[in-house]
Amino acid sequence: MEIKALRYHETGKPADVLQLDTLELGQPGPGEALVALRAAVLHPSDLGMIGGSYGRLRDLPAVAGREGVGEVLAVGEGVKRLSIGDRVRMPEESVLVDALCANADDFEKAPADLPVEQACMAFINPPTAYRILKDFVDLKPGDWIIQNAANSAVGQCAIGLAKELGLHSINLVRDVAKWEGPLKAMGADVVLADGEDFFKQFGALTGGAKPKLGLNSIGGDSVIKMIRCMAESGVVVTFGGMVGDKVRFPTRNLIFDDVSLRGFWMDRWGRNATAEQRGEMQHEIHELIRKGVFNMTIAGKYALADGKQAFEAAQAGSRDGKVIVTGDFTL
Ligand SMILES: NC(=O)c1ccc[n+]([C@@H]2O[C@H](COP(=O)([O-])OP(=O)(O)OC[C@H]3O[C@@H](n4cnc5c(N)ncnc54)[C@H](OP(=O)(O)O)[C@@H]3O)[C@@H](O)[C@H]2O)c1
């Protein structure tokens, strides 16, 4: 059987290096399952991997994509753990393919009752927001957090989870007119432009309270201003660098306010966690999606055959949310 896979044979710009390759797909052997892609999400880290700048790169040629879910279409002899129709996470190294056969035990099960677009993006961004809110500062209801890129998928999850935990959030975005309404509907308390003087404005809006936790995925001037806003002994966690600049630290806040800077990488957390810890967290994340606490916005959906256009849309600034790639392969 012939299938299509969106692959790159060298690193570079997605528009230059991505191609739709035709591959052969066999029948599932003993112990294997045949899984077809149903939905995948594109991330800034996909672009970093294809471009060769991410912290972990793949052997080439590589299938593009990192996160998605598929449907079990067939199982080989002896497979008990999976049944036809089950939803599973696509293996991280084989996401943007029509279908694949792999060991049934290696597929992570995913709940089939969640909307497929939310289910396909449950494994990276929601856990990142979850871990950063839980692991760095002992936050109590009523405490404040601050974040930049608040309209990103991680930012939207942090807003929802903060509200769920009784925390208040200050949310910095580039386009306030576009995002203030949607982010407040998700539970944001304050939405401000990530510009010159946000740190002068928010005190009046928080009754003078300062944030104990900062979430930085931008870098550059944005994080310097964020550090200046922090409460004494506050912690700023850097987990992304959208401006590609160094994170610099204003000395007075280090000395006089004891603000500290930490880093977070979901991959590292996953490698160090036990299977039980990963399973418990993922179960909780799925519950939070089911409750609507995590409900990330979507900018557009593209078929796998239009994967290159999907990557172009994912690279564009001022998106309305995540770009989804769908698959409709059947036997
Ligand atoms: N460390 C980890 O384990 C980990 C895990 C997941 C995600 N991340 C990182 O978290 C960040 C958010 O990821 P995501 O998937 O949630 O993002 P996303 O939904 O794709 O949104 C991207 C965000 O970045 C903003 N942005 C892009 N370029 C920018 C620039 N030059 N200056 C300022 N803002 C810019 C966008 O703002 P506009 O809407 O205004 O364009 C948008 O808010 C990324 O940096 C990603 O790499 C890290």
Q: Whose CA is nearest to atom 22 of ligand 1?
A: 152
Q: Say what the pLDDT of residue 95 is.
A: 98
Q: Of residues 8, 54, 130, 302, which has the active-site annotation?
A: 54
| Residue 54 annotated to the active site | yes
All structural domains of the chain with their residue ranges? 2-121+296-326, 126-267
The two three-digit tokens of residue 54, written as one number: 């991410």
Please answer whether residues 128 and 239 qualify as being in contact, where contact means their C-beta atoms are separated by less than 8 angstroms: yes
Residue 270 burial (10 A CB sphere; 0-12, 13-18, 19+): middle
- Cα 207 to ligand 1 centroid, rounded to whole Å: 29
Q: Say what the pLDDT of residue 196 is.
A: 75
DSSP state, residue 306: G
- Cα 240 to ligand 1 centroid, rounded to whole Å: 7
Query: Which ligand 1 atom is at minimum distance from the Cα of 239?
Result: 1
Q: Which of the following CATH numbers is that of domain 2-121+296-326: 3.40.50.300, 1.20.1330.10, 3.40.50.170, 3.90.180.10?
A: 3.90.180.10
DSSP state, residue 97: B
- Cα 157 to ligand 1 centroid, rounded to whole Å: 13
The pLDDT profile of the chain, 331 residues, written as one tens digit per residue, is: 999 999 999 999 999 999 999 999 999 999 999 999 999 999 999 999 999 998 889 999 999 999 999 999 999 999 999 999 999 999 999 999 999 999 999 999 999 999 999 999 999 999 999 999 999 999 999 999 999 999 999 999 999 999 999 999 999 999 999 999 999 999 999 999 998 788 888 888 899 999 999 999 999 999 999 999 999 999 999 999 988 777 888 899 999 999 999 999 999 999 999 999 999 999 999 999 999 999 999 999 999 999 999 999 999 888 999 999 999 999 9
Q: Which CATH architecture has domain 126-267?
A: 3-Layer(aba) Sandwich (3.40)
Query: Which ligand 1 atom is at minimum distance from the Cα of 151?
Result: 43
Q: Whose CA is nearest to atom 6 of ligand 1?
A: 125
Of 209, 163, 165, residue with least CA distance to 187: 163
Residues whose beta carbon lies within 6 Å of some atom of ligand 1: 43-45, 124-125, 128, 149, 151-154, 174-175, 217-218, 239-240, 242-243, 264-266, 317-319, 322
- Cα 129 to ligand 1 centroid, rounded to whole Å: 12
pTM of the model: 0.96
User: Roughly how many angstroms between the first and final C-alpha of the chain, as a whole number?
Assistant: 9
Q: Say what the pLDDT of residue 199 is.
A: 80
Q: Rounded to whole angstroms, how far apart are CA atoms 15 and 315? A: 10
Query: Which ligand 1 atom is at minimum distance from the Cα of 155?
Result: 16
Q: Rounded to whole angstroms, how far apart are CA atoms 70 and 50? A: 22
Q: Rounded to whole angstroms, how far apart are CA atoms 118 and 295? A: 7
